[in-house]
Structure 1
Amino acid sequence: MIDNKYTLPLVPLRGLIVFPGMALHFDVGRPRSIDAVEAAMQKNKLIFLCYQNDFLVESPVKSDLAEIGTICEIRQILRLPDGSIRILVEGKSRASINDFEDLGKYIQVNVTKLDDINSDDDTYTQILIRKIQRLTEDYLELYDKASPEAISALLAIDDPGEMTDVIISNIPIKPALKQTVLDKVNVLERMEQLITIMSEEIDLLDIEKSVMDQVQENLDNNQRDYVLREKLKVIQEELGEGEENDSDIKKYRESIKDRNLPKEVMDKLNDEFSRLTKTPPHSQEYAVIQGYIETIIALPWDITGDETLDIKAAKTQLDRDHYGLDKVKERVLEYIAVSKLTNKVNGNILCLVGPPGTGKTSIVSSLAKSIGRKYIRLSLGGVHNESEIRGHRKTYVGAMPGRIIDAIKRANVNNPVILLDEIDKMTKDISGDPTSAMLEVLDPEQNKSFRDNYIELPFDLSNVMFIASANSLENIPRPLLDRMDIIEVSGYTEDEKLNIAKKYLIQKQRKNNGLTSHNLNITDSGIKEIINGYTRESGVRNLERAISKVCRKVAVKVAEDNDFYISVTRKNLNEFLGKKIYNDSSIEKKDSVGIVNGLAWTEVGGETLSVEVNIMDGTGKLELTGNLGDVMKESAKAGYSFIRSNSYKFGIKSDFYKNYDLHIHIPEGAIPKDGPSAGITMATAMISALTGKPVKHDVAMTGEITLRGKVLPIGGLKEKTLAALRIGIKKVIIPFENKADYEELPDIVKNNIEFIFAKNMVDVLENALTKPFKPSLPVKKSGNNLLPLDNELYIKNDISNVTIAKL
């Protein structure tokens, strides 16, 4: 059995009726009504809307309300600057009030859902439908503000009850008349009531049209304007609408009286005020104009927030909030210094790029705090429509400004710090590319007159300090990237994570969970165990989650015994976090043939990967497995071609590609892998397998390979070397051209790992293979001797160890 009883929060409506199947925006200003909306959002989003007979009553009781209202679902909430809220509701069904309970903060009602009572008399029903259709056509001829296409679509609705509701909701008449239709549960009675109302409206419109035609014939343009205005004024006074219009306009003019708005903005507002005076207050168009005017007034056209460009204070604030990140802090302070000396926002847009959890978002918040500017975070992850940046034209239903203008409105100053978070996560679809809109936002030469589609006025964004953040640069279009100054935010070393945990995270989580140092202490060994055994990452986000979990476990004990105290160490950590997720060093314990340690960069930090190569009798096939991307496969093929063309130098049979199959595999096949930096790793593994020479188990490498055996530079060196350090690698081979990046590596990495700077594959093999590598040079005949030829592989041209063969 279907339950038709509902207990719902009540919002009394003044001057407004909501019908089932109708979607409508309206403002909620009374505190008790706002609380009712909040209560509905916390439950099932259902709310009961009912017409208030006397709109002057501030706190209505049951007798002040209509007996029948509408059960509605809240679709959207927008909080307005004055404390009121704007909601979008969708009517679900009629319902009658059974019980009326005042809960103090809001009114709760028990209602019974009312289903339409349909007639079995199909003939009479069809007669009424045709009558409504004819009346609608007559109405459209007289009332030119209604859209014929919209009404035609409404008439195509099959259900007569639904058709009646939708038509009456679109006719601009007094709410009390609309309530008489809402009261009709019987569909035939509802249709008859609609016919009565429409017939009267058509008669009035017909009389008005005749008057207008006669007046227009006898008056010139100036007299016509005067008479129409006087006529409109009299009509509005008779209907009680003119005072409401004047009151709203007076309120708006009062709010901008002392403001210094640009001339173009004032001209636009005056035009909208004029439109508002000519629009009936109960029409949807009136609400649209109101919303637009309120948005324009709420924007801080002439409001500039205070700022303090104090380098010492900014440095103190950044050091207080963040440990490490010296390069990032240095660049941020340079940015502030230039802004101070030029008295304007630095034209360069900063973009912080790095793995998650490394402090990109929080350092921007600290920057805003240090210079005294308002801070607004704008999440761009998942934005796929240009209109979300530029806004929608106000002619569309439910139109609103774009995210940029909305952020300015929320900041209430025209010079906030806006963080464009996850700018690399924007996508595009058939509705447009949001990155193209961001080009104008981030260009100092264009954003002085940024035009949002909704406000249709130029807004000066040149005072806004835009800072972007991203995990990777790969997905950011080149034109957008060119407008930003990239700052790399690298991952943290173990020592940095230890200090961050001790100075920030443990204190923060103890406070969040109601603990003190008298309840919980986490030793250095315990923190290191969390870092290495539970939360291997570049940032500290998972580290903070793990510490929070420990705090929650302790909080349970403290709740039972206020004097409870525990010191968490490496030995008892598993009591709080369970079994370790990551085991200790996973490198091979002995040198192996065809197995090489590679280094990779991911959006969450550096990783080590093991490249395995097996050789089998076959026909020369090269098999690549491990969920490899196209670039990585091409890199493997480049290494394979290099080996084939130089096989005689490595002591490999020149026809090996005819008689053997090579299988290259990178474990953890469920994880996608791509990029060229594993080129020398795969080439070394293939040479080791083909020559039978083992590769040192404590050596790792990274670098791109060319067909000539040269080693090209790579990115993400810090993250890769930190991963190597974590698993106990003693020697890392990197491209020679990455020597400058080596200088910026943390001391803990440089002190514990030996670095080899390789220019070509000879350098790689000499340091990776366990047996001495002495390549055989290509030779040419000269008398009775074979003399070595020059080759690009030997950059040093050192042939002192090569024996000249005699014929």
Structure 2
Amino acid sequence: MRKKISIPMVALRGMTILPEMVVHFDISRERSIDAVQEAMAEEQKIMLVTQRDIEVENPEESDLYRVGTIATVKQILKLPRQILRVLVAGEERAILDNIEVTDPYMRANVTVIGEDEPEIAGDINKEAMVRGLKDMYLEYAMRNPKVTKDMANQIKDITDLKKLVNQVSANLPIHYTELQEILDETDFMKRYELLAFKLVNEVQIMNIRDEIQIKVKERVDEHQREYILREQLKLIREELGEDTTISDAEEFEQSVAEMQAPDEIKEKLKKEINRFKSSMQSPAEAGVIRTYIETMLEMPWDKRVDDFTDIKYAKELLEAEHYGLEEVKERILEYLAVRALTKKGDSPILCLVGPPGTGKTSIAKSLAKALKKPYVRISLGGVRDEAEIRGHRKTYVGAMPGRIANGIKSAGIKNPLMLLDEIDKVSTDYKGDTFSALLEVLDSEQNNKFRDHYLEVPLDLSEVTFVTTANTLQTIPRPLLDRMEVIEVNSYTENEKLHIAERHLIPKQLARHGLTKEQVTISKGAVWKMARNYTKEAGVRQLEREIGNICRKAAREIYESNKKKVQVTERNLWKYLGKEKFTYQMANAEDEIGIVRGLAWTSVGGDTLQIEVNVMPGKGDIMLTGQLGDVMKESAQTGISYIRSISSKYKVPENFFDEHDIHIHIPEGAVPKDGPSAGITMATAMISAITGRKARADIAMTGEITLRGRVLPIGGLKEKLLAAKNAGIKTVLVPKENEKDIEEISTEITKGLEIIFVSQMDEVLKAALKGRSSDSK
């Protein structure tokens, strides 16, 4: 039977009260306090409804659950800070119809749900339900410490099913939202099933929790047991005067017995192991010795692999991975042939010298592949501490072996191929002479007994195949350079760059960007234009970057536009790389007075250098502009002295140099210029300006001058001739002593160039200046 009543109401936060539940709670909100006081003034009855969200301060009707409990207020106790503690006894379920009044307290219209006796067929079924629920609750009570013994005994004595369900629900310490689910269920049988389900679920959760706790406890107990046993063993050994590290020492001794190493090494290790045994009282010392022993055991003292000396295989590999570089390939094949015949032979130290990006490092990789040996690369750029090479004394904090010993250790054998990269960029400071340390590494007479400061025993490096790379030989000390066999890796011609791009760079970049040659094609003309107008380098590193730029833009174009194919040609190259970055300074169209074209070598290949000279009235001053280095300034002074010594031959007045100033300028003033190859160029330009004779525009020259007009040889001839050809020069003057170098330069470069060998300035002037000299009239 249901009836509707109007009753004061309190919204509860974080708790749910069920019928037959006796509980006290604290209230502090003014509306709740007024509602309790109003209930005491009426019949002590109050409606208790749970809030959905405990954070809401002034709940509305939508913020409350629909089913609550009508309870009788048994006791009120005032606490400090305007808090009221209320003791209530839950009686009946009620449905909240609506909130009638909200101020000064909440009054609600509710429908009381009068519960009839549950209709269960047969006393046996009812008894079974009573016993089943009791058993489930008592099992739950045994496992849950929150359920008191008195509470469990009260439940045990109840025989009425309805009362049992209400009592079990009221004495179940679960979350208030789960209690609300039981309160919401107005059908008795469904409420019984829900209650039974929650009891079984809680028991299963506790079973799983107990299993996990048992496993954790077992694991902790096992670790604790091991710890206690170890401590007891340590104590026993201390009492007996034995070392606690004996087990580690035994492992080390066994490793020493099994290792492949000279007797000297094994004796050293045995001494260190004995020291390790006696270092029980000093954990810090034991740690240092342990690290040293482990490092020594990891070194491949006598482990080696035989060289793979199949020259045919090596030749095919080098041809497949590198285009050009004939001299380097020939030297590597010669080395392999010697190794095959002698079975051992001294390993030469090859030093590959050349501009960046010309493939020096990749050649070393290919040699390692050809020999089928481990490849170890040690970068020496910026190394300035001798300990980086020789290692630190093991008594120092943080001591470690040097880079050479570490490289041998990582290779796992005593005869790997070791690349010492950028050996020209090693520096020296107060921490020691790094070059001297490298001298011992690379000297075949010394490196069979190389001493690393950390290892403290000789390390045999005589079987290591050393390859070094450098951009220049200028910074390498002569004694060190003397130990190495220098092989020049010269600049690539545009034709070589084209072949390298087609064979290696384009396939590599296409694969890196997820493209195929069917999707993207780059024409020969586009590659040629990239090499000529978008890069200015001796190698191909920047060329590869530009090809990568094309691939990225092509990948986006294919992805966004669903294109099947992208074709990059000389005409549409600008769409992918933008405007041209470099243009060659072409030969002048007309012959001019005082302007002569020189040839220079730079770190990115060859370049042409236009030298301009003006003569004007003055006091005999000589001005040099264009950011010239000391060598070029000295060349200019030498040229002036030579010209003054032959001035009568060209009918130059005696007082000319006292009454005129000479200004020598090399354009591109922001670029530093230096080097011993512009002497004859500056002298020719000055004589042209002084005598008024025009210099040929289609001629370029390179060479240094002496006071007596002798022409000295120069280096970098291949790069200089290539620069002259790119600038449209037809004739090149080269020192006579460089004639032998021409034979090593491919016809691809020399074709179309008239090369004149000169040994005296007279020959230079005869070829470069127009008009007739005074003594030839």
Aligned runs of 1:637-676 on 2, under 5 Å?
637-676=637-676
**C-alpha separation in 2, matches of 1:562 and 1:326:** 44
Q: What is aligned with 1:373? A: 373
Report the equivalent of 2:678. Answer: 678
Which region of structure 1 is more displaced relative to structure 2, 484-493 or 335-344?
Answer: 335-344
Partner AA of 1:324 in structure 2? G
**Deviation (angstroms), 1:495:** 0.6
> C-alpha displacement at 1:239, in angstroms?
9.5
- Aligned-partner Cα distance in 2 for 1:772–1:236: 108
Alpha carbons 1:305, 1:374 under 8 Å: kept: no
Residues 386, 432 of structure 1: 8 Å contact kept: yes
Q: What is the distance in 2 between the residues matched to 1:755 and 1:563?
A: 51
Query: Could you tell me which residue of structure 1 aligns to residue 411 of structure 2?
Result: 411
Q: Give the equivalent residue in structure 1 for 2:425.
A: 425
Q: Look up the match of 1:245.
A: 245
CA contact (8 A) 2:607 2:720 kept: yes
How much does 1:654 deviate? 2.5
Q: Contact 2:243/2:278 (CA < 8 Å) preserved in 1? A: no
The question of 1:293 aligning with 2:293 is answered: yes
**2:700 maps to 1:700:** yes
* Aligned residues of 2:237 and 2:244 also touching (Cα < 8 A): no
Q: Is the 8 A contact 1:375 1:418 kept in 2?
A: yes
**1: distance between equivalents of 2:338 and 2:586?**
48
What's the counterpart of residue 590 of structure 2?
Answer: 590
Counterpart CA distance in 1 for 2:627 and 2:507 is 42
Aligned AA for 1:402?
A: G
Name the aligned partner's letter for residue 500 of structure 2: I
The match for 1:482 is 482
Corresponding letter in the other structure for 2:724: A
The corresponding residue for 1:32 is none
Is 1:689 matched with 2:689? yes
Corresponding letter in the other structure for 1:691? T
1:630 partnered with 2:627: no
Cα distance between partner residues in 1 of 2:626 and 2:494 = 30
Show CA shifts across 1:248-285 (max 9, x none): 22332343443222111111111111121222488222
What is aligned with 2:739?
739
Deviation at residue 241 of structure 1 after TM alignment: 12
Query: Is the 2:243–2:277 contact (alpha carbons within 8 Å) kept by the matching residues of 1?
Result: no
Q: Which residue of 2 aligns with 1:80?
A: none
Q: Is the CA contact (8 Å cut-off) linking 1:599 and 1:606 kept in structure 2?
A: yes
CA gap of 1:638–1:517, structure 2 versus 1, over 3 A, is same
CA contact (8 A) 1:345 1:465 kept: no
Counterpart in 2 of 1:444? 444
Deviation for aligned residue 1:721: 0.8
Matching residue of 1:774? 773
Write the distance in 2 (CA, Å) between the matches of 1:705 and 1:241.
Answer: 84
Gaps of 5+ in 1: 1-175, 177-231, 777-800, 803-807
- Partner residue of 2:274? 274
Alignment of 1:496-511 (within 5 A): 496-511=496-511
d(CA) in 1 for partners of 2:555, 2:434:
46
Q: Secondary structure at the match of 2:365?
A: helix
What is the distance in 2 between the residues matched to 1:441 and 1:236? 50
Going from structure 1 to structure 2, the CA distance change for 1:274 and 1:530 (only over 3 Å counts) comes to same
- 1:669 Cα deviation from its structure 2 partner: 2.2
1:569 match? 569
> C-alpha distance in 2, partners of 1:706/1:670?
28
| Cα displacement (A) at 1:603 | 2.2
Q: How many equivalent pairs are there?
A: 547
Instruction: Give the letter aligned to residue 535 of structure 2.
Output: T
Cα gap change, 1:656 to 1:388, in 2 (>3 Å): same
Call closer, same or farther: CA 1:502–1:239 in 2, change over 3 Å: farther
Q: Any residues of structure 2 matched to 1:112-151 within 5 Å, and which?
A: none
Matched, 1:323 2:323: yes
Distance 1:499 1:591, change over 3 A: same
Is the contact made by 2:693 and 2:771 (CA closer than 8 Å) also made in structure 1?
no
Match of 1:517 in 2: 517
CA contact (8 A) 1:531 1:543 kept: yes
CA distance in 2, matches of 1:327, 1:516: 34
Q: Structure 2: how far apart are the matches of 1:296 and 1:462? A: 19
Q: Aligned to 1:676, what secondary structure does the other structure show?
A: coil
Distance in 2, matches of 1:323 and 1:508, equals: 15
Q: TM-score, normalised by structure 1?
A: 0.66
Matched, 1:605 2:605: yes
Deviation at 1:751, TM superposition (A): 1.1
> Which one-letter code corresponds to 1:573 in the other structure?
L
Q: Deviations over 1:375-423 (max 9, x none)?
A: 1111111111111111110111111111111111111110011111111
Partner residue in 2 for 1:723: 723
Q: Deviations over 1:92-141 (max 9, x none)?
A: xxxxxxxxxxxxxxxxxxxxxxxxxxxxxxxxxxxxxxxxxxxxxxxxxx
Q: Return closer, same or farther for 1:347/1:282 CA change in 2, 3 Å cut-off.
A: same
Alignment partners' CA distance in 2, 1:241 and 1:586: 89
1:334 Cα deviation after fit: 1.2
Supply the AA of the counterpart residue of 2:359: G
| Equivalent in the alignment of 1:531 | 531
Instruction: Determine if the alignment matches structure 1 residue 552 to structure 2 residue 552.
Output: yes
For residues 634 and 674 of structure 1, the distance between their equivalents in structure 2, rounded to whole angstroms, comes to 10
Q: Deviations over 1:495-526 (max 9, x none)?
A: 11000101110001000111001210000110
* 1:379-394 alignment, distance < 5 Å: 379-394=379-394
Match of 1:358 in 2: 358
Q: Distance in 2 between matches of 1:543 and 1:724?
A: 21
Q: Distance in 1 between matches of 2:558 and 2:653?
A: 72
Seq. identity, %: 53
Distance in 2 (CA, whole Å) between partners of 1:670 and 1:288 is 55
Q: Secondary structure at the match of 2:305?
A: coil
Q: Paired residue for 1:44?
A: none
Letter in 2 for 1:759: S
For residues 706 and 584 of structure 1, the distance between their equivalents in structure 2, rounded to whole angstroms, comes to 31
Letter in 2 for 1:642: Y
**Partner of 2:643: helix, strand, or coil?**
helix
* Equivalent-residue separation in structure 1 for 2:692 and 2:701 (angstroms): 19
User: Scaled by the length of structure 2, what TM-score is found?
Assistant: 0.68
Distance 1:584 1:646, change over 3 A: closer
* Counterpart code for 2:564: F
Determine whether 1:308 maps to 2:308. yes
> What's the offset of the Cα at 1:365?
0.7
Structure 1 residues 361, 345: CA separation in 2 closer, same or farther (over 3 Å shift)?
farther
Give the structure 2 partner of residue 183 of structure 1: none
Q: State the shift of 1:430 in Å.
A: 1.0
In structure 2, what residue type is equivalent to 1:367?
L
AA matched with 1:384 = R
Q: Deviations over 1:169-222 (max 9, x none)?
A: xxxxxxx9xxxxxxxxxxxxxxxxxxxxxxxxxxxxxxxxxxxxxxxxxxxxxx
Q: Distance in 1 between matches of 2:553 and 2:285?
A: 57
Q: Deviations over 1:284-316 (max 9, x none)?
A: 222211111111111100110232111111111
- The one-letter code of the counterpart of 1:743 is E
- The 5 Å alignment of 1:25-36 reads none
1:759 alignment partner in structure 2: 759
Query: Retained in 1: the 8 A contact 2:713–2:737?
Result: yes
Q: Which letter does structure 2 place at the counterpart of 1:665?
A: H
Paired residue for 1:346? 346
Structure 2 match to 1:20: none
Tell me if the contact between 1:622 and 1:663 (Cα under 8 Å) persists in the aligned partners. Answer: yes
| Distance (whole Å) between structure 2 residues aligned to residue 299 and residue 455 of structure 1 | 10
Residue 469 of structure 2: aligned partner: 469
Superposed CA offset, 1:303-359 (max 9, x none): 102321111111111101000111111111112212222222434311111111111
Q: Please tell me the residue identity of whatever aligns with 1:515.
A: L
Deviations 1:208-247 (A, max 9, x none): xxxxxxxxxxxxxxxxxxxxxxxx9975735999786123
Tell me how far 1:600 sits from its aligned partner. 0.8
TM superposition shift of 1:739: 0.8
- Rounded Cα–Cα distance in structure 1 between residues aligned with 2:281 and 2:612: 76
User: What SS does the corresponding residue of 1:752 show, helix, strand or coil?
Assistant: coil
Identify the range of structure 1 (609-618 vs 451-460) with the bigger mean alpha-carbon deviation: 609-618
- What is the rounded CA distance, in whole Å, between the counterparts of 2:379 and 2:715 in structure 1? 27
Separation (CA, whole Å) in 2 of partners of 1:676 and 1:710: 14
Matches of residues 171-320 of structure 1 in structure 2 within 5 Å?
237=237, 245-280=245-280, 283-320=283-320
Instruction: Give the 3-state SS of the residue equivalent to 2:695 in structure 1.
Output: coil
Counterparts of 2:655 and 2:767 in 1: how far apart (Å)?
Answer: 27
